[in-house]
């Protein structure tokens, strides 16, 4: 009788795994992937290749941070690819047409903020599902910029422009994109951890109805998440075009950019059910995806095979998230994406 009363309740495997930060698991897998890549792939561990991986990981990592803030608040932003790609294209086009570089960059920052504001207002106040709103605004952004601003197929980054200054190396030979990403990751961690809006966004994502009944300004907070996401998407676009040195307008990179950002977020442990996830996890996810992409390219796999592997990785991460954080009655009450 006494033994029965004092027996500790059994903790399920799901609960045990859920108690750990997924970021550490992803970092361990990433280190393993690096070791395997170094052992099986020529020139993988060279300074040049690792620098390329870090630069590209920094670019889509910045975009993923914005997406993560939205998802933590139980939202979803599919417009980030259109905003990032479109703002980068439009900035170079406007400079090419005689605009001052700061005026062009400033105009695109304002456009990104406006799109984020539109997303947030329609989702929060009109209560249209985020999936449809953000997909539409992303396509409107890339399509509208293509029709109204772009007038050639390829734009190059002027060597003396503010965008060119986003690439290269900073002090201690640290790549500037990596330094910029580090600042963004740090700022996001401070925002979500130590500010009242950041903590309320997490509470809102964990249980929307409870957050609203406790007096949290959930609708303005939703708008804020989409504005932040749009601004970081624009910054990611600027950094990406600075690294590449040019950008094509004949073929859109909309889908790969969006896929990469979503993969980083989900693999990094930011739960699609809302309220869960860390900035460290997003960082781990960005490094994992950057290394995976590099290995797929260096092994000479076809685009179709690469897409197959990336899709399988994303599907596996989503399935793991669904198992680790199953929907319940409270989650159902908070509404659909």
Q: pLDDT class for 258, splitting at 50, 70, 90?
A: confident
Tally the C-alpha atoms within 13 A of residue 242's C-alpha that lie toward its C-beta: 25
Q: What is the pLDDT of residue 336?
A: 47
Please write the tens of the pLDDT for every residue from 36-51: 989 988 889 898 899 9
Give pLDDT tens digits for 303-315.
Answer: 889 889 988 988 8
**Digit-coded pLDDT (tens) for 65-104:** 999 999 999 999 999 999 999 999 999 999 999 999 999 9
- Quick check: 325 and 271 in contact, CB under 8 A? yes
Q: Taking the CB of residue 207, how many other CB atoms lie within 10 A of it?
A: 18
**Distance from C-alpha of 140 to C-alpha of 331, rounded to nearest angstrom:** 31
Q: What percent of the chain has pLDDT over 90?
A: 55
* The pLDDT of residue 279: 92
Higher pLDDT, 32 or 18: 32
Q: Helices (DSSP H) in 122-217: which residue ranges?
A: 130-148, 176-194, 196-206, 208-213
Q: List the single range of 119-133, 136-150, 168-182 with lowest mean pLDDT.
A: 168-182
Residues with Cβ within 8 Å of 48's Cβ and at least 6 positions away in sequence, in order, are: none
pLDDT over 60 (residue 29): yes
Fill in the DSSP letter of residue 169: B
What are the φ and ψ backbone dihedral angles of 302, each rounded to 5 degrees?
-65, 160
Query: Under a CB-based contact definition with an 8 Å cutoff, are residues 93 and 241 in contact?
Result: no
Average pLDDT over residues 56-73: 94
Q: What is the CA radius of gyration of the chain?
A: 21
Q: Is the pLDDT of residue 13 over 70?
A: no
Full-model pTM? 0.89
Residue 310 CA to chain centroid, in angstroms? 16
Report the half-sphere exposure of 84 (CA within 13 A, side-chain side). Answer: 33
Pairing of strands 154-156, 246-248: antiparallel
Mean pLDDT, the chain, whole residue set: 87
What single-letter DSSP state applies at residue 175?
B
Residue with the larger pLDDT of the pair 254 and 260: 260
Cα–Cα distance, 39 to 10 (Å, whole number): 42
Strand boundaries in the chain, DSSP class E: 154-156, 246-248
pLDDT in tens, 197-256: 999 999 999 888 888 888 889 999 999 999 999 999 999 999 999 999 988 886 555 567
Pick the more confident residue, 337 or 12: 12
> Tokens representing 145?
């910029």
At residue 113, the pLDDT reads 98
pLDDT, tens only, 313-329: 888 888 887 777 665 54
Distance CA 202, CA 270 (A): 11
Phi, psi angles (nearest 5°) of residue 169: -120, 150
CB-CB neighbours of 280 under 10 Å: 18
Given this model, what pLDDT does residue 1 score? 47
Least confident of 9-13, 133-137, 201-205: 9-13
First to last CA, the chain: 49
pLDDT at 301: 86
Backbone angles phi, psi at 313, to 5 degrees: -65, -45
Q: How confident is the model at residue 181 (pLDDT cuts 50, 70, 90)?
A: very high
How high is the pLDDT of residue 335? Answer: 46
Highest averaged pLDDT of the listed ranges 107-111, 155-159, 263-267, 289-293: 107-111
Token pair 């990981």 is at which residue? 57
């Amino acid at each position: 009788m006494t033994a029965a009363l004092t027996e500790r309740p059994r903790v399920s495997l799901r609960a045990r795994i859920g108690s750990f930060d997924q970021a550490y698991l992803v970092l361990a897998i990433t280190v393993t992937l690096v070791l395997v890549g170094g052992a099986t792939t020529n020139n993988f561990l060279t300074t040049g290749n690792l620098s390329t991986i870090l630069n590209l990981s920094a670019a889509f990592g910045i975009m993923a941070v914005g997406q993560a803030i939205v998802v933590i608040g139980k939202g979803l932003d599919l417009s980030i690819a259109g905003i990032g790609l479109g703002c980068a294209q439009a900035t170079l086009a406007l400079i090419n047409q005689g605009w001052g570089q700061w005026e062009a960059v400033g105009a695109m920052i304002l456009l990104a903020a406006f799109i984020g504001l539109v997303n947030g207002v329609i989702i929060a106040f009109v209560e249209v599902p985020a999936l449809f709103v953000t997909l539409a605004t992303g396509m409107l952004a890339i399509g509208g910029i293509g029709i109204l601003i772009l007038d050639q197929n390829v734009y190059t980054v002027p060597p003396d422009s503010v965008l060119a200054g986003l690439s290269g190396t900073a002090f201690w030979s640290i790549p500037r994109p990596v330094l910029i990403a580090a600042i963004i990751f740090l700022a996001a961690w401070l925002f979500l951890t130590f500010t009242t809006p950041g903590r309320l966004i997490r509470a809102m994502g964990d249980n929307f109805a409870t957050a609203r009944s406790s007096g949290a300004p959930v609708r303005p907070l939703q708008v804020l998440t989409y504005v932040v996401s749009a601004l970081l998407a624009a910054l990611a676009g600027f950094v990406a075009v600075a690294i590449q040195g040019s950008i094509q307008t004949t073929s859109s990179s909309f889908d790969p950019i969006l896929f990469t950002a979503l993969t980083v977020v989900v693999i990094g442990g930011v739960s699609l059910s809302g309220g869960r996830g860390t900035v460290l996890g997003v960082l781990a996810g960005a490094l994992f995806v950057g290394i995976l992409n590099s290995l797929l390219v260096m092994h000479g796999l076809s685009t179709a095979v690469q897409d197959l592997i990336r899709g399988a990785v994303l599907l596996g991460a989503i399935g793991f998230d669904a198992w680790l954080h199953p929907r319940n009655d409270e989650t159902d009450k908070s509404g659909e994406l």
